[in-house]
A and B are shown apart, each in its own frame.
Chain A
Amino acid sequence: MGADDSAYQALAETLDGDDHRWAFGAGFDAGTAEITAPPPEGVDRDDLATYCLMLADDALVASQRLAEWTTNAPELEEEVALANIALDLLGQARVLLARAGHLGAAERYRVGPQDDEDVLAYFRDERAFRNVVLAEADLGDFGRTMAWMLVYSSWRLALMTRLVASRDVVLAAVADKAVKELAYQRQYAAQWVVRLGDGTDHSRERVQAGLDGVWPFVEELFAVHPVEARLVEAGVAVDPAELRAELDAVLDQVLPPARLTRPERPAVGLVAGRGGRDGIHTEALGPVLAVMQSLARTHPEATW
């Protein structure tokens, strides 16, 4: 097989036409005004790319998890809600991945002519994902999903509320948009947590078990990675340690009317000081990525 017979050859040809798109992506890179902005002065390009990947992967992996509810939710309305929330997170992830790609993060994974965001989503392996492990946690039943979402959206909302002030124009723009979406998600989760917790004994047991189950992943949300520390110093990133008080306040507000108790469970340990932000994940991530990536990797030339 000659070099020209690459499976990506057909893709390279069809991508030129407006009417053919790669089957697994859509492409923000082509014309997004902010993504091509240079990094703020004095900010390390690789650090900024890594930080974009962290925030992108937090959203991308959580979005893929939530998509598991599609065709499985208890009611049609909740199915639509969960799919919409997944879509919001996917949208946040796409801009951040495109930004990371513009800063050079996609090159080492590139196997074909796909857009940067698609290269980063589909052709990176588990160890290259930088999400916190909460994002990859098994969502289990609906009660656990709502407990998970209350924690996740409260934390990400607290982060994005602060990121609006970032010196990086892309991070600030993504954050400004994400704040409203995450506030809506948190509201949805909080109302369900109260409804289930203050419901029957059975529903309360399940949402409490869900909260207990995700609690070991909470501590990592406030850990400061060296990349984050340098970017906090540069006025670009949010200090994760600052976010604890806001999550605590939300839980103090929601748990009493939900008749739930704050779990007392030890955090999952880091591996030699490293966790999700360094690519060290729980066993839950592999299957999530397999579902998300396998089709694109099997048929990399598909267009529609």
Chain B
Amino acid sequence: MVTGTDTVWDVAAEVTDPEMPMLTLADLGVLRGAETRDDGTVVVTITPTYSGCPALDEMRSDLRHRLQDAGHARVEVRTSFSPPWTTDFISDAGRRKLAEAGIAPPAHVGPRATGPVPLTLDPPERVVACPQCGSPETEVVSRFGPTACTALRRCRACAEPFEHVKEI
């Protein structure tokens, strides 16, 4: 379908994340740019959440197909690593959609200090509110969840397990 009115950014921004489909690539903050070159080629730039994010190839393929469906015959999807993605790039709309889907959104982390990274054997527990009942009484079940971006937690108040997009 050729819409004619949507910009290439609008089309690209609507593509959803393969592993957290409630988020668009724009919500997730991995869409870095979308523009049409003079020769008509659409160039979209994305950045991976984690170096080994297995969803990256799906994103690339989905972007290409959606833009081709929108009438852009030549689509080039580029990957850029710099600056590295952090959960701070997840938009406010994205955070709201995560919470609505029962996934606790990440807290804001701010820029990383340069120099050696200190090791804390007992890191202070972040307060992560339960996305079901809102209780702050939650605990980590596993620091690694079903996708690279999430950890598994459990609510002590309502006993529901849930995923938490871990801060990086």
Contact = CB atoms under 8 A, between A and B. Distances in A.
Interface string B127-159: 000000000000001111110100010000000
B142 A34 contact: no
B52 A87 contact: yes
Contacts of A21: 57
B51 A174 contact: yes
Contacts of B60: 31
Given A31-B76, A34-B80, A77-B144, A190 B52 contact: no
B4 interface: no
Contacts of B168: 180-181, 184
Interface residues on B, range: 35 or more
B117 A179 contact: yes
B40 interface: no
Interface stretch (B5-13, B15-23, B90-98, B108-116): B108-116
A169 B141 contact: no
SS of B interface (majority) = loop
A32 B78 contact: yes
B61 A172 contact: no
Residue in B80, B119, B120, B143 with the greatest tally of chain A CB atoms within 10 Å = B119
Nearest to A183: B117
A88 B143 contact: no
Nearest to A87: B52
Interface stretch (A43-51, A122-130, A246-254, A281-289): A246-254
Contacts of B121: 190-191, 194, 253-254, 257
Contacts of A154: 119
Contacts of A95: 51, 81
B117 A181 contact: no
A180 B148 CA distance: 13
B99 interface: no
Interface residues on A, range: 35 or more
Contacts of B56: 26
A53 interface: no
Contacts of A191: 121
A92 B52 contact: yes
A137 interface: no
Contacts of B71: none
A256 to B, nearest CB: 10
B64 interface: yes
Contact of B51 (A81, A88, A188): A88
A277 interface: no
A239 B145 CA distance: 35
Contacts of A186: 117, 119
B89 interface: no
A147 B144 CA distance: 19
A87 B54 contact: yes
Contacts of B116: 158, 161, 246
Given A18-B64, A157-B117, A190-B121, A173 B78 contact: no
Interface in A178-215: 178-181, 183-184, 186-188, 190-191, 194
A174 B84 CA distance: 9
B123 to A, nearest CB: 7
A80 B142 contact: yes
Interface string A4-32: 00000000000000100100001110011
Interface of A: 18, 21, 26-28, 31-34, 77, 80-81, 84-85, 87-92, 94-95, 154, 157-158, 161, 164, 169-170, 172-174, 176-181, 183-184, 186-188, 190-191, 194, 246, 250, 253-254, 257
